[in-house]
């Protein structure tokens, strides 16, 4: 995978694990309430993070506590919106909407963090977004005949885009000074504390098989988040977010293999554009790094 930068390789690995966790969310959501699934995900996340922190010898609370706490709250809101959309929409459609955030991230990173993109990188992101549009086929672009989506599921997915974009920028800033496990710890703490307070209508006692599915949600999503956080520490927020759109392709694959959701030609065409955009982002990133290494250093003083 020499065509991808190290940060993008971490994101690719994290995206694979996270997409498998999304499949388990879909399976668990057929009977269990969303907040209950979220709570188990949070508890397992806290447990795994504490293990990693203990092995590394790092402090649990980190250095930038206010920003870490804000990251935790953003993570709670974004994860609830993610889970709700995944449960109430077809898996591929839900993740198409959820992972349409690279443009928002790129805009916020440009406005707030001074990050830049080459023309090739911007073209690659636009190509990925075009792929997202082909899969989603919104009415305002394609007119009547586009697929019907659950209204609340759609709103949850859009809320996820907004909250996730801000959470990504927070991770991008925090990852420069905090260990990945510290950055990862705050969202599951917030999830574990807040999800019982927002539970509506009581919880359902899981069956033995459902406990296995819930453990899969916690394990795969937390491992995926760990690799994503490592990626954000060393790569441009806008570029690395483009890699995350590959989760749409993974979701379509899992939907076909395990849920019987057969993607149509629009989904396959959009997925092809997304893959092309990710590969183009990788080439752009490698060229930019090579150009920086080749550039002569400015004389001191």
pLDDT of residue 113: 74
Long-range CB contacts for residues 77-80, cutoff 8 Å, separation at least 24: 77/159, 77/163, 78/160, 78/163, 78/164, 78/167, 79/38, 79/41, 79/187, 79/191, 80/34, 80/35, 80/38, 80/156, 80/195, 80/198
C-alpha 120/C-alpha 99 separation (Å) is 20
C-alpha 166/C-alpha 2 separation (Å) is 30
110: Cβ contacts below 8 Å, ≥ 6 apart: 116, 117, 238
Which residue, 37, 41, 36, is CA-closest to 202? 36
Handedness of CA 107, 112, 114, 115 (dihedral sign): negative
C-alpha 268/C-alpha 72 separation (Å) is 35
pLDDT of residue 145: 55
pLDDT of residue 297: 56
C-alpha 162/C-alpha 25 separation (Å) is 21
pLDDT of residue 301: 44
Check: CB of residue 21 under 8 Å from CB of residue 226. no
pLDDT of residue 130: 82
C-alpha 105/C-alpha 124 separation (Å) is 14
Handedness of CA 155, 156, 157, 162 (dihedral sign): positive
C-alpha 126/C-alpha 242 separation (Å) is 10
pLDDT of residue 298: 47
Q: pLDDT tens digits for 61-107?
A: 777 889 999 999 999 999 999 999 988 888 877 877 787 776 677 66
pLDDT of residue 153: 84
pLDDT of residue 216: 93
C-alpha 213/C-alpha 200 separation (Å) is 21
State both tokens at 63.
Answer: 């250095």
Q: Which phi and psi angles does 118 have, rounded to 5°?
A: -70, 170
253: Cβ contacts below 8 Å, ≥ 6 apart: none
C-alpha 98/C-alpha 47 separation (Å) is 26
The pTM of the full predicted model, rounded to 2 decimals, is 0.76
C-alpha 153/C-alpha 16 separation (Å) is 23
CA–centroid distance for 46 within its chain: 18
Which parts of the chain have pLDDT scores under 50?
298, 300-301
């Amino acid at each position: 995978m020499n065509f991808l930068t190290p940060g993008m390789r971490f994101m690719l690995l994290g995206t694979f694990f996270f997409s498998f966790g999304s499949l388990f969310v879909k399976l668990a959501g057929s009977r269990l309430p969303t907040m209950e699934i979220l709570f188990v995900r949070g508890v397992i996340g806290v447990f795994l993070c504490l293990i990693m922190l203990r092995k590394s010898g790092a402090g649990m609370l980190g250095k930038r506590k206010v920003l870490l706490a804000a990251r935790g709250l953003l993570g709670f809101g974004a994860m609830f919106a993610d889970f709700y959309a995944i449960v109430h929409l077809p898996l591929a459609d839900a993740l198409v909407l959820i992972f349409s955030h690279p443009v928002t991230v790129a805009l916020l990173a440009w406005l707030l963090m001074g990050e830049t993109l080459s023309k090739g990188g911007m073209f690659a992101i636009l190509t990925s977004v075009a792929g997202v549009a082909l899969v989603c086929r919104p009415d305002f672009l394609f007119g009547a005949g586009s697929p019907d989506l659950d209204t609340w599921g759609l709103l949850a997915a859009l809320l996820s885009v907004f909250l996730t974009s801000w959470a990504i920028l927070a991770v991008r800033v925090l990852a420069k000074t905090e260990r990945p496990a510290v950055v990862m710890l705050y969202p599951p703490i917030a999830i574990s504390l807040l999800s019982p307070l927002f539970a509506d209508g009581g919880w359902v006692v899981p069956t033995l098989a459902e406990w296995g599915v819930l453990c899969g949600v916690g394990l795969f999503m937390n491992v995926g988040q760990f690799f994503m956080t490592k990626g954000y520490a060393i790569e441009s927020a806008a570029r690395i977010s483009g890699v995350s759109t590959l989760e749409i392709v993974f979701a379509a694959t899992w939907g076909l293999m395990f849920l019987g959701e057969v993607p149509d030609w629009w989904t396959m065409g959009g997925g092809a554009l997304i893959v092309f955009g990710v590969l183009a982002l990788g080439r752009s990133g490698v060229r930019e790094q090579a150009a920086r290494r080749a550039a002569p250093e400015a004389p001191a003083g």
